[in-house]
């Protein structure tokens, strides 16, 4: 997988993380970077979930992925890219 961290709202979220959250994020991204899409989808540790009530402005599906036990990210999968859209240290806010 190729990882895209260039979405401006995501970068604002990234730069506002505390040290513990940033460490968890980097650890998870390193794991994702070594996987293919099938492995990401099947990983119980990452717990990839389709977000039913949200889509991108061009109609792409959004997913929630676990960064830690209490911290999730919203991503979009396009071909062999995982594009990070937002980060949610408050786990439940990923679905709103």
CA atoms of 68 and 7, how far apart (whole Å): 21
Q: How many CA atoms lie within 13 A of 13 on its CB side?
A: 21
pLDDT one digit per residue (tens) for the chain, 96 residues: 899 999 999 999 999 999 999 999 999 999 999 999 999 999 999 999 999 988 888 889 999 999 988 889 999 999 889 999 999 986 555 545
What predicted TM-score, i.e. pTM, was given to this entire model? Answer: 0.88
Q: Which domains does the chain have, with CATH numbers?
A: 2-95 (3.30.2310.20)
CA dihedral 10, 13, 18, 20 (to 10 degrees): -40
């Amino acid at each position: 997988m190729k990882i895209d961290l260039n979405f401006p709202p995501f970068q604002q979220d990234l730069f506002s993380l505390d040290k513990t959250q940033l460490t968890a994020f980097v650890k998870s991204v390193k794991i994702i970077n070594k996987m293919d899409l099938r492995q990401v989808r099947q990983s119980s540790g990452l717990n990839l979930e389709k977000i039913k009530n949200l889509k991108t402005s061009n109609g792409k599906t959004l997913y929630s992925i676990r960064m830690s036990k209490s911290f999730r990210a919203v991503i979009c999968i396009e071909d062999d890219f995982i594009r990070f859209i937002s980060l949610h240290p408050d786990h439940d806010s990923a679905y709103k």
